[in-house]
Amino acid sequence: MLTRDAILRHIPHQGASCLLDAATRWDETSLEATTRLHNDPANPYRVADHLPPITGIEMAMQAAALHGALTAHETRQGWLTSVRDVLIHCDRLDNPAWDSLTIIVTRKHQAHSGMIYDFTLTAPSARLLLGGTGTVMLPTDKPS
């Protein structure tokens, strides 16, 4: 298991912008992470008085970034270039009944130029809150 401090050493999202608390398991193709930050009133992704469900995409892609950092044979920072097939099944992510959320990312394609991850975000009851696919592009030119 990776704690938040360890996660912060692996991804570019720092301070309050990092939405992950722990990585509970990972292998070459997938990673499971958890967060309790969805109920934090100081969450920087809040809009007015709530955390919109679209923020789940950010959570998932941070988990994908962490997975890439943990399994990469070389370090290259990537950029989210698209999300597809996103289905949202809730009105908001901040819900006191949900003490933590689980994020699962599964890499379904990898190439030198990037990767594609499927993702899900679930409540403790295993209720699906959000799912979709994100594409991350990596720089292909090496600096001289």
pLDDT in tens, 7-59: 999 998 999 999 999 999 999 999 999 999 999 999 999 998 899 999 999 99
| Order of all β-strands in the sheet with 22-26 | 2-3, 22-26, 30-35, 101-111, 114-122, 128-137, 79-88
pLDDT value at 91 more than 90: yes
Report pLDDT for 143: 56
- The answer to whether the CB of 96 falls within 8 A of the CB of 124 is no
CB-CB contact of 96 with 121 (8 Å): no
Write the single-letter amino acid at 86: V
pTM above threshold 0.75:
yes
